[in-house]
């Protein structure tokens, strides 16, 4: 069965939908997207934090001056329709707002399209495996001069380049610093360090406003841990008791070393394990919001 996708209000078989070489977003990296998970809860797919992802999609579009050609409700329905049409239960869902053909000038701002794609999400090879991070020379640009923290397609040039750098240098992923040299995040995950039983993570002004990050902060506080959102100097990572990453795709991902130096609790990582388990508990017990299909 070929994958079914949703574009501009219609479900269609993915192979019938092609982007032309004249596509504006393809050339200029101009678009905004989301990465959403649905989980198998008692055999039914439950989409996690859909409203928060739609909020962020709208904020990202706003930051890059892109007006979606559809409504939040239409995308929310499309997410469910694509899951049903493909019979996906555990899945990764990717709504994307982008421009179609038109390479005349950078002023072109039409036609606007929205698509919702999804793919089956089986356990990934990194599940449970601790990551080796390397501090990359690539930095997130100054948010004053670039929409650094919109979830915009063009921003992933940096994430992609840093990931390639990490792989070539024997790391699993890169730590990106921000324009002032403080820790920002990994290529597509937020970063936390644990010091003396408390969590420290860069403030939202220095990283993508991660939805998993917010969930983990809430769980940590409910467990009585202190969470400090403050600037982190790269050298502090080398002295952390534990480091972990968070994202919709990789959930709570332990880190075993930074720049080749193991974190002090790299063997046991009690706080990371506790928060990973709390996250698992949340996703295993999702229920449909009232009124949803
Ligand atoms: N930072 C970046 C750059 C990302 O691409 C992602 C993935 N969306 C994250 C952090 C984590 O965000 P979330 O927890 O919302 O998936």
pTM comes to 0.95
**Looking at residues 234-258, what average pLDDT do you find?**
96
31 forms beta bridges with 98
208 lines ligand 1 (CB under 6 A): yes
211 lines ligand 1 (CB under 6 A): yes
**Looking at residues 154-175, what average pLDDT do you find?**
98
For the beta carbon of residue 198, count every other beta carbon within 10 angstroms.
14
Q: 1 vs 38, 85, 212, 258, CA distance in Å?
A: 20, 11, 32, 43
Residue % of the chain over a pLDDT of 70: 96
Nearest atom, ligand 1, residue 190 CA? 10
Euclidean distance between CA atoms 33 and 75, whole angstroms: 12
pLDDT recorded at residue 104: 87
Band (pLDDT 50/70/90 cuts) for residue 109 is confident
Euclidean distance between CA atoms 26 and 23, whole angstroms: 5
189 lines ligand 1 (CB under 6 A): yes
Q: Residue 139: in which H helix or E strand, if any?
A: strand 131-139
pLDDT reading at 290 higher than 60? no
Residues in the chain: 293
Q: 121 vs 35, 89, 118, 127, 261, CA distance in Å?
A: 12, 9, 9, 12, 32
Euclidean distance between CA atoms 282 and 275, whole angstroms: 11
Q: Which of 156, 178, 210 to mutate to test the pocket of ligand 1 (most atoms within 8 A of CB)?
A: 210
Indicate which residue's Cα is closest to atom 6 of ligand 1.
188
Q: What are phi and psi of 178, to 5 degrees?
A: -95, -175
Q: What is the mean pLDDT of the chain?
A: 94
**Looking at residues 270-291, what average pLDDT do you find?**
88
213 lines ligand 1 (CB under 6 A): yes
For residue 29, how far is its CA from the centre of ligand 1 (angstroms)?
18
pLDDT recorded at residue 124: 60
Exposure of 51 by Cβ count < 10 A (0-12 exposed, 13-18 middle, 19+ buried)? exposed
Specify whether the CB–CB gap between 197 and 208 falls below 8 A: no
Specify whether the CB–CB gap between 261 and 238 falls below 8 A: yes
pLDDT reading at 204 higher than 70? yes
Give residue 16's Cα distance to chain centre: 28
């Amino acid at each position: 069965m070929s994958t079914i996708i949703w574009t501009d209000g219609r479900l269609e078989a993915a192979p019938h939908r092609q982007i032309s070489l004249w596509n504006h977003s393809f050339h200029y990296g101009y678009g905004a997207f989301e990465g959403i998970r649905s989980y198998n809860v008692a055999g039914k797919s439950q989409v996690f934090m859909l409203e928060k992802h739609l909020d962020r999609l709208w904020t990202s579009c706003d930051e890059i001056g892109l007006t979606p050609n559809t409504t939040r409700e239409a995308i929310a329905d499309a997410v469910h329709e694509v899951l049903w049409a493909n019979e996906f239960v555990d899945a990764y869902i990717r709504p994307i707002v982008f421009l179609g053909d038109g390479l005349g000038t950078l002023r072109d701002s039409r036609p606007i399209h929205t698509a919702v794609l999804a793919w089956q999400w089986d356990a990934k090879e990194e599940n449970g495996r601790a990551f080796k991070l390397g501090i990359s020379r690539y930095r997130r640009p100054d948010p004053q001069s670039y929409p650094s923290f919109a979830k915009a397609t063009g921003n992933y040039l940096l994430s992609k380049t840093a990931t390639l750098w990490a792989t070539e240098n024997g790391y699993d992923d890169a730590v990106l610093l921000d324009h002032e040299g403080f820790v920002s995040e990994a290529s597509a995950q937020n970063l936390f360090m644990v010091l003396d039983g408390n969590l420290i993570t860069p403030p939202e002004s220095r990283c993508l406003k991660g939805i998993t990050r917010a969930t983990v902060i809430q769980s940590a506080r409910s467990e009585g841990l202190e969470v400090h959102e403050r600037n982190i100097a790269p050298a502090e990572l080398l002295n952390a008791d534990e480091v972990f990453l968070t994202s919709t795709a990789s959930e709570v991902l332990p880190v075993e070393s930074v720049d080749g130096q193991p974190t002090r609790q790299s063997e046991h990582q009690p706080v990371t394990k506790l928060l990973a388990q709390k996250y698992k508990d949340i996703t295993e017990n999702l229920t449909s919001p009232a009124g949803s299909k």
